[in-house]
Amino acid sequence: MKMDRRQEKDVEAARRSAMAALAAAPADALKRLCDEAGLPGDAQLLRGPETGLVTVRGRIGGGGAPFNFGEATVTRATVRLTTGEVGHSYALGRDREKARLSAIADALWQDPVRRSEIEEKIIEPLRVAQREADARKRAETAATRVDFFTLVRGED
């Protein structure tokens, strides 16, 4: 069965979204979820895990021409499962085990048979935790919002 271009795009977007959840995950949360899900740990490492730098870019004035404003540590890994799927991971920081587990999760995700299991047991719990943390932070910030009021002075 051949996927048409739109289906392909949808799958890419979903894979990207899963990789985003993995990259943003706290390392210990990811390790716990992988343990609980019983992820196969015997994937063959094709690359890394290795730590390197990315140069971070901003835009002049916020939306203008790009400029480089610093670097950040990133750790990446590539694995191949015994079933042949190749998975990649990239994430800020230097956690090699997180990189390895994320690459395994990405590889398993590409197997349509395993996808829903990975989504349910790994990706969705990470997303939920992230959404909750973000919502809490937004609510805390919102509490520091200034409500201006005008004092009426004099008559008319």
Partner 1 sequence: MYVAVKGGEAAIENAHRLLADRRRGDRSVPALRIDQIVEQLALGVDRVMAEGSLYDRELAALAIVQSRGDLIEAIFLVRAYRTTLPRFGYTKPIDTAAMQVERRVSATYKDLPGGQLLGPTFDYTHRLLDPELANGGDADEPAQREAPSERMARVSEILAHEGLIEADGELPDDHVTGDITREPLEFPLARDIRLQALSRGDEGFLLALGYSTQRGYGRSHPFVGEVRIGEVELELDVPELPFAVPLGRIRVTECQMVNQFKGSAKVPPQFTRGYGLVFGQSERKAMAMSLCDRALRTREMGGDITAAAQDEEFVISHADNVQATGFVEHLKLPHYVDFQAELDLVRRMRAEHDARENAGAAETREAAE
For residues 104 to 123, the per-residue mask of contacts with partner 1, x marking binding by CB under 8 A and - elsewhere, is --------------------
Residues 130, 20, 128: CA angle, nearest 5 degrees: 25
What span, in angstroms and rounded, lies between the C-alpha atoms of 72 and 47?
Answer: 20
Q: For partner 1, which residue of 60, 113, 151, 152 counts as binding (CB under 8 A)?
A: 60
Decide: is 128 part of the binding site for partner 1 (CB under 8 A).
Answer: no
Q: Count the Cβ atoms, other than its own, within 10 Å of residue 120.
A: 11
Contact call for residues 30 and 126 (beta carbons, < 8 A): yes
Among residues 54, 52, 31, 155, which one has the least CA distance to residue 104? 31
Residues touching partner 1, count (CB under 8 A) = 55
Nearer to partner 1, 32 or 137 (CB): 137
Residues that bind partner 1 (CB under 8 A): 12-13, 15-16, 19-20, 23-24, 50-74, 76, 78, 88, 90-94, 134-146, 148
